[in-house]
Amino acid sequence: MRTLYIDGEWVDAHTDDGIDVVSPIDGSVLDTVPDGDATDVARAVRAARDARQELKEMTPFERAAILEEVTEYFEANEDEIAECISREEGKPLHESYDETEYVIASSEDYAHDGIRLFGDVVPSEHRDRFAYTTREPYGVAAVISPWNFPLEVPGGSIYAAIAAGNPVVFKPAEETPLTAYHITKAFAQSSLPDGAFNLVTGQGETGASLVENEDVRLIAFTGSTEVGREIGKVAAERNAQCLLEMGGKDPILVLDDADVDAAAEAIVGGSTFNAGQVCCGTERVITTPGVHDALVDAVVERTKAITLGDPFDDDTDVGPMISERIQAKAVEQVSEAIADGADLLVGGDTDGLFYEPAVLADVDPDTAIAREETFAPVTPVIAADDYDDAVRIANDSRYGLQAAVFTQDLEHAHDAANRIEAGGVFVNETDNYWERLLPFGGYKDSGAGGRYGSKWHLEAMTQTKAVMLNYGDY
Protein backbone atom coordinates (compact mmCIF):
# COMPACT_ATOMS: atom_id res chain seq x y z
CA MET A 1 0.00 0.00 0.00
CA ARG A 2 1.13 3.53 -0.75
CA THR A 3 1.62 6.15 1.93
CA LEU A 4 0.42 9.67 2.69
CA TYR A 5 2.55 12.80 2.40
CA ILE A 6 2.41 15.02 5.49
CA ASP A 7 4.79 17.71 6.73
CA GLY A 8 7.45 16.92 4.15
CA GLU A 9 7.52 13.16 4.80
CA TRP A 10 5.97 10.01 3.34
CA VAL A 11 4.08 8.52 6.28
CA ASP A 12 1.80 5.57 7.00
CA ALA A 13 -1.89 6.27 7.47
CA HIS A 14 -3.53 6.02 10.88
CA THR A 15 -5.21 2.73 9.95
CA ASP A 16 -4.45 -0.13 7.57
CA ASP A 17 -7.64 0.47 5.57
CA GLY A 18 -6.96 0.79 1.87
CA ILE A 19 -8.66 1.60 -1.43
CA ASP A 20 -7.95 -0.52 -4.50
CA VAL A 21 -7.45 1.61 -7.60
CA VAL A 22 -9.20 -0.25 -10.42
CA SER A 23 -8.58 0.47 -14.10
CA PRO A 24 -11.82 1.04 -16.03
CA ILE A 25 -10.12 -0.42 -19.09
CA ASP A 26 -9.96 -4.03 -17.93
CA GLY A 27 -10.90 -4.09 -14.24
CA SER A 28 -7.35 -4.77 -13.08
CA VAL A 29 -6.17 -3.46 -9.70
CA LEU A 30 -3.43 -0.93 -10.38
CA ASP A 31 -2.43 -0.19 -6.79
CA THR A 32 -3.79 0.37 -3.30
CA VAL A 33 -3.82 3.71 -1.50
CA PRO A 34 -4.64 4.55 2.13
CA ASP A 35 -8.20 5.31 3.13
CA GLY A 36 -7.23 8.27 5.29
CA ASP A 37 -9.36 9.12 8.30
CA ALA A 38 -10.00 12.16 10.49
CA THR A 39 -6.74 11.59 12.37
CA ASP A 40 -4.74 11.73 9.14
CA VAL A 41 -6.60 14.84 8.05
CA ALA A 42 -5.92 16.54 11.38
CA ARG A 43 -2.19 15.77 11.09
CA ALA A 44 -2.08 17.21 7.59
CA VAL A 45 -4.01 20.35 8.52
CA ARG A 46 -1.75 20.96 11.53
CA ALA A 47 1.30 20.68 9.30
CA ALA A 48 -0.19 23.13 6.83
CA ARG A 49 -1.18 25.53 9.60
CA ASP A 50 2.35 25.47 11.01
CA ALA A 51 3.79 26.21 7.54
CA ARG A 52 1.38 29.06 6.88
CA GLN A 53 3.53 31.93 8.10
CA GLU A 54 6.70 30.80 6.35
CA LEU A 55 4.88 30.40 3.04
CA LYS A 56 3.14 33.76 3.43
CA GLU A 57 6.41 35.56 4.16
CA MET A 58 8.10 34.20 1.04
CA THR A 59 8.21 36.70 -1.78
CA PRO A 60 6.00 36.05 -4.81
CA PHE A 61 9.19 35.50 -6.78
CA GLU A 62 10.29 32.75 -4.38
CA ARG A 63 6.93 31.02 -4.65
CA ALA A 64 7.06 31.37 -8.44
CA ALA A 65 10.46 29.67 -8.45
CA ILE A 66 8.91 26.70 -6.63
CA LEU A 67 6.24 26.35 -9.30
CA GLU A 68 8.97 26.41 -11.93
CA GLU A 69 10.63 23.48 -10.13
CA VAL A 70 7.30 21.65 -10.21
CA THR A 71 7.05 22.30 -13.95
CA GLU A 72 10.46 20.73 -14.46
CA TYR A 73 9.25 17.53 -12.77
CA PHE A 74 6.22 17.31 -15.06
CA GLU A 75 8.32 17.93 -18.15
CA ALA A 76 10.80 15.21 -17.15
CA ASN A 77 8.04 12.68 -16.38
CA GLU A 78 5.42 13.55 -18.99
CA ASP A 79 5.22 10.07 -20.54
CA GLU A 80 4.80 8.30 -17.20
CA ILE A 81 2.17 10.80 -16.02
CA ALA A 82 0.11 10.59 -19.23
CA GLU A 83 0.13 6.79 -19.10
CA CYS A 84 -0.92 6.88 -15.44
CA ILE A 85 -3.89 9.13 -16.26
CA SER A 86 -5.10 6.83 -19.04
CA ARG A 87 -4.74 3.66 -16.97
CA GLU A 88 -6.67 4.88 -13.95
CA GLU A 89 -9.18 7.22 -15.64
CA GLY A 90 -9.65 5.56 -19.04
CA LYS A 91 -9.29 8.50 -21.41
CA PRO A 92 -7.35 7.99 -24.67
CA LEU A 93 -3.61 8.49 -24.30
CA HIS A 94 -3.58 11.50 -26.61
CA GLU A 95 -6.09 13.23 -24.31
CA SER A 96 -3.89 12.43 -21.32
CA TYR A 97 -0.92 14.01 -23.08
CA ASP A 98 -3.06 17.08 -23.77
CA GLU A 99 -3.91 17.26 -20.07
CA THR A 100 -0.28 16.93 -19.02
CA GLU A 101 0.92 19.56 -21.48
CA TYR A 102 -1.84 21.92 -20.39
CA VAL A 103 -0.72 21.60 -16.78
CA ILE A 104 2.91 22.22 -17.72
CA ALA A 105 1.94 25.42 -19.49
CA SER A 106 -0.51 26.58 -16.83
CA SER A 107 1.98 26.08 -13.99
CA GLU A 108 4.14 28.70 -15.65
CA ASP A 109 1.10 30.98 -15.97
CA TYR A 110 0.31 30.72 -12.27
CA ALA A 111 3.93 31.44 -11.39
CA HIS A 112 3.81 34.63 -13.44
CA ASP A 113 0.33 35.61 -12.23
CA GLY A 114 1.43 35.23 -8.61
CA ILE A 115 4.15 37.80 -9.21
CA ARG A 116 1.57 40.16 -10.71
CA LEU A 117 -1.03 39.87 -7.96
CA PHE A 118 -1.18 43.62 -7.54
CA GLY A 119 -3.06 45.77 -5.07
CA ASP A 120 -4.32 49.27 -5.82
CA VAL A 121 -3.36 52.77 -4.80
CA VAL A 122 -6.58 54.43 -3.67
CA PRO A 123 -7.08 58.22 -3.67
CA SER A 124 -7.86 59.41 -0.14
CA GLU A 125 -10.54 61.98 0.60
CA HIS A 126 -8.17 63.53 3.15
CA ARG A 127 -4.88 65.39 2.75
CA ASP A 128 -1.69 63.85 4.11
CA ARG A 129 -2.96 60.32 3.80
CA PHE A 130 -1.77 57.55 1.51
CA ALA A 131 -4.12 54.59 0.95
CA TYR A 132 -3.58 51.32 -0.84
CA THR A 133 -4.72 47.70 -0.90
CA THR A 134 -2.87 44.40 -0.82
CA ARG A 135 -3.91 40.80 -1.51
CA GLU A 136 -3.20 38.28 1.24
CA PRO A 137 -3.67 34.50 1.54
CA TYR A 138 -6.53 33.04 3.56
CA GLY A 139 -4.49 30.32 5.23
CA VAL A 140 -4.83 26.54 5.01
CA ALA A 141 -6.44 25.53 1.70
CA ALA A 142 -8.28 22.26 1.14
CA VAL A 143 -8.15 21.14 -2.49
CA ILE A 144 -10.70 18.41 -3.25
CA SER A 145 -10.63 17.25 -6.85
CA PRO A 146 -12.67 15.04 -9.22
CA TRP A 147 -11.64 11.92 -11.10
CA ASN A 148 -12.20 13.10 -14.67
CA PHE A 149 -9.16 15.42 -14.87
CA PRO A 150 -6.90 14.09 -12.11
CA LEU A 151 -3.94 16.29 -13.05
CA GLU A 152 -5.40 19.43 -14.61
CA VAL A 153 -8.15 20.30 -12.14
CA PRO A 154 -6.23 19.90 -8.88
CA GLY A 155 -3.10 21.26 -10.50
CA GLY A 156 -4.69 24.64 -11.15
CA SER A 157 -6.08 25.03 -7.64
CA ILE A 158 -2.86 23.87 -6.00
CA TYR A 159 -0.72 26.19 -8.12
CA ALA A 160 -3.00 29.13 -7.41
CA ALA A 161 -3.05 28.39 -3.69
CA ILE A 162 0.74 28.09 -3.42
CA ALA A 163 1.40 31.11 -5.65
CA ALA A 164 -0.89 33.17 -3.41
CA GLY A 165 0.73 31.88 -0.20
CA ASN A 166 -1.87 29.35 1.00
CA PRO A 167 -0.53 26.00 2.27
CA VAL A 168 -2.43 23.02 0.84
CA VAL A 169 -4.00 19.79 2.00
CA PHE A 170 -4.89 17.83 -1.14
CA LYS A 171 -7.58 15.14 -1.17
CA PRO A 172 -7.90 13.58 -4.66
CA ALA A 173 -10.83 11.53 -5.93
CA GLU A 174 -10.68 7.94 -4.72
CA GLU A 175 -11.12 6.67 -8.31
CA THR A 176 -7.95 8.35 -9.61
CA PRO A 177 -5.49 8.93 -6.76
CA LEU A 178 -2.38 7.63 -8.53
CA THR A 179 -1.97 10.76 -10.63
CA ALA A 180 -2.08 12.72 -7.36
CA TYR A 181 1.15 11.00 -6.34
CA HIS A 182 2.87 12.59 -9.32
CA ILE A 183 1.66 16.01 -8.19
CA THR A 184 2.92 15.20 -4.71
CA LYS A 185 6.32 14.02 -5.94
CA ALA A 186 6.66 17.24 -7.91
CA PHE A 187 6.21 19.35 -4.78
CA ALA A 188 8.21 16.95 -2.58
CA GLN A 189 11.31 17.40 -4.75
CA SER A 190 10.89 21.18 -4.84
CA SER A 191 12.13 23.74 -2.33
CA LEU A 192 8.62 24.26 -0.91
CA PRO A 193 8.72 24.45 2.91
CA ASP A 194 7.74 21.26 4.74
CA GLY A 195 4.03 21.23 5.55
CA ALA A 196 3.06 23.64 2.79
CA PHE A 197 1.80 20.74 0.66
CA ASN A 198 0.18 17.59 2.04
CA LEU A 199 -1.57 14.61 0.45
CA VAL A 200 -4.31 12.61 2.16
CA THR A 201 -6.06 9.97 0.05
CA GLY A 202 -9.43 8.59 1.00
CA GLN A 203 -13.15 8.46 0.28
CA GLY A 204 -15.97 10.91 0.91
CA GLU A 205 -15.58 10.75 4.68
CA THR A 206 -11.97 11.91 4.33
CA GLY A 207 -13.08 14.93 2.34
CA ALA A 208 -15.80 15.67 4.88
CA SER A 209 -13.25 15.64 7.72
CA LEU A 210 -11.12 18.09 5.78
CA VAL A 211 -14.02 20.45 5.06
CA GLU A 212 -15.13 20.35 8.70
CA ASN A 213 -11.69 21.13 10.14
CA GLU A 214 -11.79 24.54 11.83
CA ASP A 215 -8.26 25.44 10.66
CA VAL A 216 -9.18 25.13 6.98
CA ARG A 217 -9.90 28.68 5.80
CA LEU A 218 -10.19 28.09 2.05
CA ILE A 219 -11.87 25.23 0.18
CA ALA A 220 -11.43 24.63 -3.56
CA PHE A 221 -13.82 21.91 -4.68
CA THR A 222 -14.60 20.54 -8.13
CA GLY A 223 -17.30 17.90 -8.40
CA SER A 224 -21.04 17.35 -8.22
CA THR A 225 -23.48 20.11 -7.36
CA GLU A 226 -24.96 18.04 -4.54
CA VAL A 227 -21.62 17.62 -2.76
CA GLY A 228 -20.61 21.20 -3.50
CA ARG A 229 -23.76 22.53 -1.88
CA GLU A 230 -23.09 20.53 1.27
CA ILE A 231 -19.52 21.83 1.39
CA GLY A 232 -20.82 25.37 1.02
CA LYS A 233 -23.18 24.91 3.97
CA VAL A 234 -20.42 23.59 6.23
CA ALA A 235 -18.01 26.34 5.20
CA ALA A 236 -20.63 29.04 5.74
CA GLU A 237 -20.97 28.08 9.41
CA ARG A 238 -17.44 29.36 10.06
CA ASN A 239 -17.16 31.86 7.17
CA ALA A 240 -14.52 29.87 5.31
CA GLN A 241 -13.93 30.93 1.73
CA CYS A 242 -15.27 28.49 -0.88
CA LEU A 243 -14.41 28.14 -4.55
CA LEU A 244 -16.93 25.68 -5.99
CA GLU A 245 -16.92 24.40 -9.57
CA MET A 246 -19.81 22.00 -10.00
CA GLY A 247 -22.16 20.42 -12.54
CA GLY A 248 -23.43 21.52 -15.91
CA LYS A 249 -26.03 20.79 -18.56
CA ASP A 250 -24.28 22.75 -21.24
CA PRO A 251 -26.16 23.57 -24.46
CA ILE A 252 -25.09 24.25 -28.01
CA LEU A 253 -27.61 26.36 -29.92
CA VAL A 254 -27.56 25.86 -33.69
CA LEU A 255 -29.43 28.55 -35.62
CA ASP A 256 -30.78 28.43 -39.17
CA ASP A 257 -27.80 30.25 -40.69
CA ALA A 258 -25.15 28.09 -38.97
CA ASP A 259 -22.33 26.25 -40.68
CA VAL A 260 -23.81 22.77 -40.24
CA ASP A 261 -20.56 20.85 -40.69
CA ALA A 262 -18.71 23.01 -38.17
CA ALA A 263 -21.56 22.75 -35.68
CA ALA A 264 -21.77 18.97 -36.03
CA GLU A 265 -18.03 18.60 -35.54
CA ALA A 266 -18.16 20.75 -32.40
CA ILE A 267 -21.16 18.86 -31.03
CA VAL A 268 -19.70 15.39 -31.48
CA GLY A 269 -16.32 16.48 -30.16
CA GLY A 270 -17.97 18.15 -27.19
CA SER A 271 -20.17 15.19 -26.31
CA THR A 272 -17.57 12.43 -26.73
CA PHE A 273 -14.39 14.02 -25.33
CA ASN A 274 -13.30 11.99 -22.30
CA ALA A 275 -16.31 9.73 -22.95
CA GLY A 276 -18.59 12.70 -22.25
CA GLN A 277 -17.37 12.88 -18.65
CA VAL A 278 -16.71 16.61 -18.59
CA CYS A 279 -18.60 19.23 -16.60
CA CYS A 280 -18.64 21.55 -19.63
CA GLY A 281 -19.26 18.80 -22.18
CA THR A 282 -22.06 19.11 -24.72
CA GLU A 283 -25.14 17.84 -22.88
CA ARG A 284 -27.89 19.48 -24.95
CA VAL A 285 -28.23 20.50 -28.60
CA ILE A 286 -30.98 23.02 -29.32
CA THR A 287 -31.85 23.68 -32.96
CA THR A 288 -34.09 26.08 -34.82
CA PRO A 289 -36.40 24.58 -37.51
CA GLY A 290 -34.48 25.52 -40.65
CA VAL A 291 -31.33 23.63 -39.68
CA HIS A 292 -32.71 20.78 -37.58
CA ASP A 293 -32.83 17.90 -40.06
CA ALA A 294 -29.51 18.64 -41.74
CA LEU A 295 -27.79 19.03 -38.39
CA VAL A 296 -29.17 15.78 -36.99
CA ASP A 297 -28.00 13.90 -40.09
CA ALA A 298 -24.52 15.42 -39.81
CA VAL A 299 -24.23 14.66 -36.09
CA VAL A 300 -25.32 11.05 -36.62
CA GLU A 301 -22.78 10.51 -39.41
CA ARG A 302 -19.92 11.91 -37.34
CA THR A 303 -20.98 9.91 -34.31
CA LYS A 304 -20.93 6.70 -36.35
CA ALA A 305 -17.31 7.46 -37.26
CA ILE A 306 -16.18 7.58 -33.61
CA THR A 307 -13.84 4.73 -32.65
CA LEU A 308 -14.48 3.19 -29.25
CA GLY A 309 -11.60 1.18 -27.82
CA ASP A 310 -8.43 0.73 -25.80
CA PRO A 311 -7.11 4.13 -24.67
CA PHE A 312 -3.60 3.04 -25.64
CA ASP A 313 -4.53 2.38 -29.29
CA ASP A 314 -3.66 5.30 -31.55
CA ASP A 315 -6.98 5.05 -33.42
CA THR A 316 -9.17 5.25 -30.31
CA ASP A 317 -11.40 8.31 -29.95
CA VAL A 318 -13.35 7.26 -26.85
CA GLY A 319 -12.29 5.00 -23.98
CA PRO A 320 -14.33 3.44 -21.18
CA MET A 321 -16.44 5.25 -18.65
CA ILE A 322 -15.08 5.48 -15.13
CA SER A 323 -17.55 3.22 -13.30
CA GLU A 324 -20.72 1.16 -13.49
CA ARG A 325 -22.55 3.79 -11.45
CA ILE A 326 -21.82 6.59 -13.92
CA GLN A 327 -22.61 4.38 -16.89
CA ALA A 328 -25.88 3.14 -15.37
CA LYS A 329 -27.11 6.70 -14.98
CA ALA A 330 -26.63 7.32 -18.71
CA VAL A 331 -28.35 4.06 -19.64
CA GLU A 332 -31.30 4.94 -17.42
CA GLN A 333 -31.65 8.47 -18.81
CA VAL A 334 -31.56 7.24 -22.41
CA SER A 335 -34.17 4.55 -21.68
CA GLU A 336 -36.45 7.08 -20.00
CA ALA A 337 -36.05 9.52 -22.89
CA ILE A 338 -37.04 6.83 -25.40
CA ALA A 339 -40.06 5.92 -23.28
CA ASP A 340 -41.03 9.61 -23.34
CA GLY A 341 -40.93 9.72 -27.15
CA ALA A 342 -37.30 10.39 -28.08
CA ASP A 343 -35.81 8.59 -31.07
CA LEU A 344 -32.46 6.82 -30.54
CA LEU A 345 -30.70 7.29 -33.88
CA VAL A 346 -27.36 5.66 -33.13
CA GLY A 347 -25.41 4.11 -30.25
CA GLY A 348 -26.39 3.34 -26.69
CA ASP A 349 -24.96 -0.18 -26.49
CA THR A 350 -22.58 -1.13 -23.67
CA ASP A 351 -19.67 -3.56 -23.39
CA GLY A 352 -18.18 -3.55 -19.92
CA LEU A 353 -17.59 0.11 -19.13
CA PHE A 354 -17.49 1.06 -22.81
CA TYR A 355 -20.55 3.01 -23.95
CA GLU A 356 -21.27 3.47 -27.64
CA PRO A 357 -21.78 7.21 -28.33
CA ALA A 358 -25.49 7.90 -28.74
CA VAL A 359 -27.64 10.51 -30.48
CA LEU A 360 -31.30 11.10 -29.63
CA ALA A 361 -33.74 13.28 -31.57
CA ASP A 362 -37.20 14.56 -30.61
CA VAL A 363 -36.11 14.95 -26.99
CA ASP A 364 -38.67 16.46 -24.63
CA PRO A 365 -36.96 19.40 -22.85
CA ASP A 366 -38.72 18.44 -19.62
CA THR A 367 -37.23 14.92 -19.40
CA ALA A 368 -34.27 14.01 -17.19
CA ILE A 369 -31.85 13.68 -20.10
CA ALA A 370 -32.53 17.31 -20.99
CA ARG A 371 -32.38 18.63 -17.43
CA GLU A 372 -29.93 16.60 -15.33
CA GLU A 373 -26.26 15.90 -15.92
CA THR A 374 -25.72 12.76 -17.98
CA PHE A 375 -21.90 12.67 -17.95
CA ALA A 376 -21.67 10.27 -20.88
CA PRO A 377 -21.16 10.37 -24.67
CA VAL A 378 -24.83 11.10 -25.31
CA THR A 379 -26.19 13.87 -27.55
CA PRO A 380 -29.87 14.79 -26.98
CA VAL A 381 -31.28 17.07 -29.70
CA ILE A 382 -34.12 19.42 -28.76
CA ALA A 383 -36.17 21.21 -31.43
CA ALA A 384 -36.92 24.88 -30.67
CA ASP A 385 -39.64 26.93 -32.35
CA ASP A 386 -37.30 29.83 -33.16
CA TYR A 387 -34.25 31.71 -31.86
CA ASP A 388 -36.00 33.18 -28.83
CA ASP A 389 -37.36 29.77 -27.90
CA ALA A 390 -33.87 28.28 -28.21
CA VAL A 391 -32.50 30.84 -25.74
CA ARG A 392 -35.44 30.17 -23.41
CA ILE A 393 -34.78 26.42 -23.45
CA ALA A 394 -31.07 26.99 -22.87
CA ASN A 395 -31.80 29.10 -19.79
CA ASP A 396 -34.49 26.78 -18.44
CA SER A 397 -31.96 24.89 -16.33
CA ARG A 398 -30.64 24.96 -12.80
CA TYR A 399 -27.16 24.85 -14.30
CA GLY A 400 -25.21 27.61 -16.00
CA LEU A 401 -21.64 26.56 -16.66
CA GLN A 402 -20.96 27.08 -20.38
CA ALA A 403 -22.87 27.36 -23.64
CA ALA A 404 -22.25 27.85 -27.33
CA VAL A 405 -24.14 29.21 -30.32
CA PHE A 406 -23.53 28.59 -34.01
CA THR A 407 -24.65 31.43 -36.27
CA GLN A 408 -23.38 33.75 -39.00
CA ASP A 409 -25.53 36.61 -37.69
CA LEU A 410 -23.50 39.06 -35.61
CA GLU A 411 -26.62 40.41 -33.90
CA HIS A 412 -27.66 36.92 -32.78
CA ALA A 413 -24.10 36.20 -31.65
CA HIS A 414 -23.93 39.22 -29.37
CA ASP A 415 -27.52 38.84 -28.22
CA ALA A 416 -27.00 35.20 -27.27
CA ALA A 417 -23.81 36.06 -25.40
CA ASN A 418 -25.78 38.63 -23.39
CA ARG A 419 -28.91 36.58 -22.76
CA ILE A 420 -27.63 33.07 -22.09
CA GLU A 421 -27.18 32.50 -18.36
CA ALA A 422 -23.78 30.85 -18.20
CA GLY A 423 -20.27 31.56 -17.02
CA GLY A 424 -18.94 31.19 -20.56
CA VAL A 425 -20.64 31.64 -23.94
CA PHE A 426 -18.77 30.77 -27.13
CA VAL A 427 -19.75 31.64 -30.69
CA ASN A 428 -19.02 29.14 -33.47
CA GLU A 429 -17.05 27.01 -31.03
CA THR A 430 -17.88 24.04 -28.84
CA ASP A 431 -19.20 24.65 -25.34
CA ASN A 432 -16.62 22.10 -24.16
CA TYR A 433 -13.98 24.81 -24.36
CA TRP A 434 -11.41 26.35 -22.08
CA GLU A 435 -8.04 27.99 -22.37
CA ARG A 436 -5.47 29.07 -19.84
CA LEU A 437 -6.06 32.82 -19.66
CA LEU A 438 -9.87 32.70 -19.62
CA PRO A 439 -11.85 32.48 -16.37
CA PHE A 440 -13.70 29.19 -15.91
CA GLY A 441 -16.78 28.78 -13.74
CA GLY A 442 -20.53 28.89 -13.79
CA TYR A 443 -23.74 30.59 -12.79
CA LYS A 444 -26.57 29.15 -10.69
CA ASP A 445 -25.94 25.56 -9.54
CA SER A 446 -22.74 25.30 -11.57
CA GLY A 447 -20.46 27.34 -9.37
CA ALA A 448 -19.88 29.81 -6.57
CA GLY A 449 -17.12 31.78 -4.93
CA GLY A 450 -15.04 32.88 -7.89
CA ARG A 451 -13.46 31.57 -11.06
CA TYR A 452 -10.78 29.07 -11.93
CA GLY A 453 -7.95 30.00 -14.26
CA SER A 454 -5.12 32.49 -14.37
CA LYS A 455 -5.45 35.70 -12.37
CA TRP A 456 -9.09 35.00 -11.43
CA HIS A 457 -8.02 31.86 -9.61
CA LEU A 458 -5.49 33.76 -7.52
CA GLU A 459 -7.97 36.53 -6.77
CA ALA A 460 -10.45 33.93 -5.47
CA MET A 461 -7.74 32.52 -3.22
CA THR A 462 -6.72 35.81 -1.65
CA GLN A 463 -8.45 38.43 0.48
CA THR A 464 -8.15 42.20 0.22
CA LYS A 465 -6.55 44.30 2.93
CA ALA A 466 -6.95 48.10 3.04
CA VAL A 467 -3.97 50.11 4.34
CA MET A 468 -3.88 53.84 5.14
CA LEU A 469 -0.81 55.84 6.13
CA ASN A 470 -1.32 59.21 7.82
CA TYR A 471 1.88 61.18 7.24
CA GLY A 472 0.51 64.48 8.52
CA ASP A 473 -1.04 65.73 11.74
CA TYR A 474 -3.73 63.65 13.41
**245 part of the active site:** yes
Among candidate residues 245, 283, 373, 459, the one labeled active-site is 245
Cα→Cα distances 84→149, 151, 160, 225, 319, Å? 12, 10, 24, 27, 14
Q: What is the dihedral of CA 9, 15, 17, 23, to 10 degrees?
A: -10
Rounded to whole angstroms, the Cα distance separating 316 from 310 reads 6
Rounded to whole angstroms, the Cα distance separating 110 from 452 reads 11
Rounded to whole angstroms, the Cα distance separating 313 from 317 reads 9
Identify whether the C-beta of residue 150 lies closer than 8 Å to the C-beta of residue 172: yes
Termini Cα distance of the chain: 65
Report the 3 state secondary structure along the chain. CCCEEECCEEECCCCCCEEEEECCCCCCEEEEEECCCHHHHHHHHHHHHHHHHHHHHCCHHHHHHHHHHHHHHHHHCHHHHHHHHHHHHCCCHHHHHHHHHHHHHHHHHHHHHHHCCCCCEECCCCCCEEEEEEEEECCEEEEECCCCCCCHHHHHHHHHHHHHCCCEEEECCCCCCHHHHHHHHHHHCCCCCCCCEEECCCCHHHHHHHHHCCCEEEEEEECCHHHHHHHHHHHHCCCCEEEEECCCCCEEEECCCCCHHHHHHHHHHHHHHHHHCCCCCCCEEEECHHHHHHHHHHHHHHHHCCCECCCCCCCCCECCCCCHHHHHHHHHHHHHHHHCCCEEEECCCEECCEECCEEEECCCCCCHHHHCCCCCCEEEEEECCCHHHHHHHHHCCCEECEEEEECCCHHHHHHHHHHCCCCEEEECCCCCCCCCCCCECCEECCEECCCECHHHHHHHCEEEEEEEEECCCC
Number of Cβ within a 10 Å radius of residue 396: 13
Catalytic residues: 245
